Structure 1
Amino acid sequence: MTTYYLSVQDMSKAKGPDPELSFEGIGPEKLAADIAEAMRSDSLFQRWRAKQPDPDEVDPSLGVTDASASAKGELSNDRNDVQLTTSLPMRIVKHRLNLLIGSSWQLRDTR
């Protein structure tokens, strides 16, 4: 298991490029819940995959999940912090985060 320490400076900009797949909440707790769900379930991946020009050509390994993934969010100083614990590799985490919140997140640390 790896713990990813993420931060989002401006929650109003925490939107993915596709509104139908994007995060639609307020606050770090809701963000953490949505991130954890995106890691535990392949729902976000399947919705994204269906929107691709040739869904059958999408690498199925991008749909891997971690049923035990967990995330905790909190407001810290001037940023929103999310601590994500998962067995998923960074390439999967990054893909799902980019779908949910675009490039508005920053990886601060891993353990």
Structure 2
Amino acid sequence: MRYHIRLPDPSIARGNTPGLAFQSHGADGFAEELQHALRTRDLFERWSAQLDDPEDADPALGATDPAATVSGEQHDLHIDLTVDTVLPSALLRQRMHLLAGDHWQLRDVTAA
């Protein structure tokens, strides 16, 4: 699937947990961080390690797509990300929430 995501104000596109949130400021950096979060278990492992009982983390939330691609494009004040992945939308949303908090919008979903 292809997901079209907008960061309306990239300066506040940060999750609630600094160790998990986006660190980037530009379109390429946001794209790279999200792509890494989809391709590897790194974000899942950092998130689950912060749980009271990491063993309670649903292993399905750690699914990855090694072929996922993310591109970013800067537009005036917002950034658009285009995500191609086989991961279900629930996992993409969970990772975006960790990375950007509530400061992102899913604009469209199409077949890749």
TM-score by length of 2: 0.95
**Counterpart residue number, 1:56:** 55
> How far, CA to CA, are the matches of 2:9 and 2:65 in structure 1?
28
> How far, CA to CA, are the matches of 2:82 and 2:101 in structure 1?
18
**1:77, distance to aligned residue in structure 2 (A):** 4.2
**1:27, distance to aligned residue in structure 2 (A):** 1.1
2:9 equivalent to 1:10: yes
Gaps spanning 5+ residues in structure 1: where?
none
TM-score by length of 1: 0.96
> How far, CA to CA, are the matches of 2:69 and 2:28 in structure 1?
12
2:103 equivalent to 1:104: yes
Per-residue CA deviations over 1:13-59 (Å, capped at 9, x if unaligned) read 01111001111111111101100110000000000000001111111
Give percent identity, aligned residues only.
Answer: 37
**1:106, distance to aligned residue in structure 2 (A):** 0.2
The alignment partner of 1:87 has SS state of: coil
Gaps spanning 5+ residues in structure 2: where?
none
- Aligned structure 1 segments of 4 or more residues deviating by more than 6 angstroms: none
> How far, CA to CA, are the matches of 1:56 and 1:73 in structure 2?
34
> How far, CA to CA, are the matches of 1:48 and 1:107 in structure 2?
22
> How far, CA to CA, are the matches of 1:24 and 1:76 in structure 2?
19
Residue pairs, 1:21-100, within 5 angstroms? 21-100=20-99
The alignment's C-alpha RMSD in Å is 0.8
> How far, CA to CA, are the matches of 1:25 and 1:83 in structure 2?
16
Deviates more, 1:70-79 or 1:41-50: 70-79
